[in-house]
């Protein structure tokens, strides 16, 4: 096919489903990443502003969703799904049938939860051996911003009894599909908090902040435990901030770890966006898309090595 000559060998070749805020920010960052080649972009509206922005910059652009990608599956290694949790199950069925891996940026709960900085730190966050199609879930922006801090806190507490995650994002950065996903977003974020801390009593809430001018994304976590070593928690959280900043430079403390009362520890992070698509207030795009890119880098390179050994 005509576009095959554009593909650069040695790169991880990908397609993107979705031309909303998340999908276009993701596409912009992949286009400047030397490890990736964006082969195709699939939207549903020919007049989508995000899609129009990328005309002549991507070999294949289709406006009938994943159906339009069917003739092109041989030309990419994996798919990013930046649509909605309601559409993701069908997208995964098709992608799996074609033997490709998928990075799920919706809170569908279908894929295996993955937070790149927690690979091999949390038991379930590892890659499966071999080259079978794999679906990795990015959970939510709140999941990606809270999980590093929750994991760090677990290193300085004993007998956790309750966990709470509160996420505030600027309303202007949240598109229609993400708004339809809110209930799934909260459920997925809660489940990740329980998984990371080992505490089944986990609660999450999402605030779409209407402030104008928009304020930065902030994520506050509270952990109730019998024994709290605040010094150990401060060290572990600082180390995790440094780790996350390798892929998300705008991730930092808004409020450092402290104990609002006996038996309770809290920390608040904030994310300043890199401005690939929306202005820097959209840190929620940065945190989930950076996680998606790093997860795809790990997964794509793993599959390339595994195929070379077969």
Catalytic residues: 141
Report DSSP state, residue 75: G
- Strands of the sheet with 202-209, listed across from one edge: 202-209, 157-170, 217-228, 264-271, 251-261
């Amino acid at each position: 096919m005509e576009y095959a000559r554009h593909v650069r060998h040695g790169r991880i070749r990908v397609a993107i489903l979705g031309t909303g805020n998340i999908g276009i920010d993701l596409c912009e960052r992949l286009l400047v990443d030397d490890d990736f080649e964006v082969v195709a972009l699939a939207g549903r509206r020919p007049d989508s502003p995000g899609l129009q922005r990328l005309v002549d910059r991507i070999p294949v652009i289709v406006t009938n969703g994943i159906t339009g990608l069917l003739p092109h599956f041989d030309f990419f290694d994996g798919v990013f799904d930046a649509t909605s949790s309601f559409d993701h199950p069908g997208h995964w069925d098709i992608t799996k049938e074609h033997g490709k891996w998928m990075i799920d940026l919706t809170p569908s709960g279908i894929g295996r939860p993955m937070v790149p900085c927690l690979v091999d730190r949390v038991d379930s966050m590892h890659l499966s051996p071999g080259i079978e199609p794999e679906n990795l879930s990015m959970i939510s922006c709140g999941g990606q911003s809270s999980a590093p801090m929750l994991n760090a806190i677990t290193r300085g507490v004993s007998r956790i009894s309750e966990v709470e995650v509160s996420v505030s994002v600027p309303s202007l950065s949240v598109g229609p599909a993400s708004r339809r996903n809110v209930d799934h977003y909260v459920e997925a974020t809660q489940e990740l908090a329980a998984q990371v801390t080992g505490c089944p009593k986990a609660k999450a809430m999402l605030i779409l902040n209407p402030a104008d001018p928009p304020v930065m994304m902030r994520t506050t976590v509270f952990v109730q435990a019998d024994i709290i070593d605040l010094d150990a928690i401060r060290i572990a959280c600082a180390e995790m901030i440094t780790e996350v900043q390798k892929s998300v430079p705008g991730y930092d403390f808004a409020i450092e770890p402290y104990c609002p009362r006996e038996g309770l520890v809290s920390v608040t992070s904030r994310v300043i966006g890199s401005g690939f698509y929306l202005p820097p207030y959209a840190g929620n795009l940065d945190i989930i898309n950076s996680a998606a890119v790093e997860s795809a880098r790990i997964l794509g390179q793993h599959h390339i090595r595994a195929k070379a050994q077969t």
